[in-house]
Structure 1
Amino acid sequence: MTELPRIHSLRDGAAKAIAAADLDLKTELAQETARRWDDRKLSLRSPLDLTVPERPGRPARPELIAPTKMVRRTLHSTRGRVALLHAIAHIELNAIDLALDIVARFAGEKVPNSFFDGWMRVAFEEAKHFRLVRDRLRQLGADYGDMPAHDGLWQAAHDTRNDLTARLAVVPLILEARGLDVTPALQAKMREAGDMESAAVLDIIYEDEKGHVAVGAKWFRFLCARQKKDPAATFQALVRANFRGPLKAPFNDVARAEAGLTPSFYRSMTASTNI
């Protein structure tokens, strides 16, 4: 087991996990911080907290390239499935840091402790997802870092670092919700290819991600209610200001609605572009 540094508070544990370049250390720190917070063995903040990193720690590999240079993947071969799983591992790794950043960066916000309960559960589960996908890659003779990955996901955190409502609009309600849209087709294709083990991993991720979008929707609506703003109109305004490009159809309306993200939020924005 990886030896953990001392964790002074919830914010400190989250910041140290974000900063960790060793991915075993990152995932263990994220999950141990979540456990201690859930057991109420940590305060929210302390004077000894690590400063929240501007960028997450990363190993030397994979090479990070522009999203436009990523090669399209087919699932008809083992190499194609490895490439897809590698891309999913990269998404899950970024999702760990995005959840932790919501906790660490916004620890001074006037929100109930249950806000942090929800996001630490998300961080815990994202760490679980990364490990599951990485284990599956290793079973297929590969590992995370073997292929290039794109560096666009963290941009969402940087662009919304000063506005919690904008962060919730962009990260869980766009990026995580997109996973609900695309994962069912990937599950089916994995099964068609006979890769039941990879499909089973995607099953776990899909069910958990519904809860992650629900956490985002719950707290987005909470903040809008406190500010006496209409949630759907506020979402659309924040997306236009903070998200690059249109929202992509098709949408998994049923799963999104189960998570509290109704079509009134996003349907009118399908073809919108930002200036």
Structure 2
Amino acid sequence: MTYATVMVSLALDQPNEARLQVAGELAERFEAALVGVAAAKFAPPLYFTDGAEAQRLIDQEDASVKRCLADLEAEFRAATKTRGGRAEWRCAMDFPTRFVLAQARCADIVVSGGRSPAFSDAFSLASPKDLVMQAGRPLLAVPDQINWLDLRSVLVAWKDTPEARRAVADALPMLRKARDVAIVEIPEEDDDRAAVMARVSDVASWLARHGVTATARVPEATGDETAAAQLERIAGDVGAGLIVAGAYGHSRFRELILGGVTQYLVTQTARCVLLSH
């Protein structure tokens, strides 16, 4: 398995430099095509007018959105002109999430920013929370502070779920290029530690058969530290430049509300995160 097409989602009113840099590096490493996508839509005002004045307002705002999209295309072209690979731009006057989700059909992996405000503007931003839960492709969330894709040390946050299994499989191309890979499961207080170690050891053995040398690690259970806090501490200990994890939602609201660890992974600012759902 490899990545043949990398898609990067650009956003209005947000920094795009980090995600463009990482997406470009990813495309170069795997000799993949790079597709840039962006969309935005005129947000109707909270007051009403009619006739010629209404049409003038609509035309004015549509023109503004088109200028913003043209600026994003120029930013994408400038970031890719020296990379030498295949680059393609796609944009539309549409709801960003809807447009990006549709375009994701042509990609192996989607790169997005890591910022995900609690109440994002559906007219101008494809939230990484929405993308990871609905795209059907792995999402690489890139914090604004990151300036390169650091694969020297990768942390796999394991949980014996379909989402985590998909995430590890989706991450295989990157794991094969990593120098050190650690597989960690945060045990619950009542977990049998031997059983937990057996699970992560199975994953390490599976990865070894795919050419990836990985170490299995199970920290001592602790009741005074959240799973997200433990994960952050371990990631710091191993110097992880990338975390690989499954993305989880909450019951019937799973498409809208992410679980605690997933929420942390989407919003942390120290390292890139590959998430699959």
TM-score (norm 2): 0.26
**Which of the pair has the greater relative contact order for Cα pairs under 8 Å at 6+ separation?**
2
Max Rg structure? 2
Of Structure 1 and Structure 2, which has the larger fraction of its residues in strand?
2
Query: TM-score, length-normalised on structure 1?
Result: 0.26
Structure with bigger helix share is 1
